[in-house]
A and B are shown apart, each in its own frame.
Chain A
């Protein structure tokens, strides 16, 4: 049975994410059943069912990540173009024993009281000095502003800064292509 444009868009998005996550891990991502998709509905895509995956490199690490997104329709000349609109991302580096290190998070549309709607970073307790002079008990709860961070940038950070061993030989090309696409659709942010 031929795929609908909506199914094709979601399939392409998930394959793209799998390719980027695949620079770090062989774990699969999971996404929504393609038979019951609707425009405007929020779906999630999660690496390894949102359980951490182990990353090999200079120092063992664990990584978790996922996105929520919807497919929207936008006018494009005389046609209607389907686009992926990310409504949440969450990427976390941790120690293999579970101690959390860094969490990148963005929920632009949440409206519950106290919910931060700007993209932010949590520096987690495993990298903080519990006897430090500044907010030692609560620093990990601070929402440190970051600007939107692409999954490709997270993966590049893991490889180039944290010393994670990339799996495919063409990891840099994959990330360059993904990063270019990310900024192409966010020119106003790129020029800030």
Chain B
């Protein structure tokens, strides 16, 4: 038997619940060009390099998950920029 901790709600939380009920959130579908822009933005933000530089280094194995904790965060964007 799992006991769930009680959660105290504030007005913002109540509003979120109401919005979720009224209009379920829908996924957003982005184009490859938008994926390239996202990759570039996040590579610069988290790893201080361009998206193209990140993609080249990651694909060649020069940069791996063990090199920096945010490599995986940025690498997961690559498929949206390539496919």
Chain A residues within 8 Å of B, Cβ to Cβ: 11, 14-15, 17-19, 22, 26-34, 36, 38, 41-46, 49-51, 56-58, 64, 66, 68, 88, 90, 92, 100, 103, 105, 107, 112-115, 124, 141, 159-160, 163, 165-169
Contact = CB atoms under 8 A, between A and B. Distances in A.
Contact of B27 (A28, A92, A107, A141): A28
A100 B12 CA distance: 26
Contacts of A31: 27-30, 80
A68 B27 contact: no
Interface string B16-41: 11011100111111111001001000
A33 B72 contact: no
B44 to A, nearest CB: 13
A64 B45 CA distance: 15
Q: What range describes how many residues of B lie at the interface?
A: 35 or more
Nearest to B8: A165
Given A26-B20, A141-B66, A50 B30 contact: no
Nearest to A165: B7
5 contacts: A15-B26, A44-B80, A103-B69, A159-B4, A168-B17
B77 A46 contact: yes
B48 interface: no
Contacts of B30: 30-33
Interface of B: 2, 4-5, 7, 9-10, 12-13, 16-17, 19-21, 24-32, 35, 38, 42, 61, 64-66, 69, 72-74, 76-80, 83
Nearest to B42: A50
Given A11-B27, A66-B76, A168-B21, 4 more contacts: A44-B76, A44-B80, A160-B2, A160-B5
Contacts of A66: 76
B27 A56 contact: no
A99 B42 CA distance: 18
Contacts of B9: 165
Contacts of A88: 76
Nearest to B35: A32
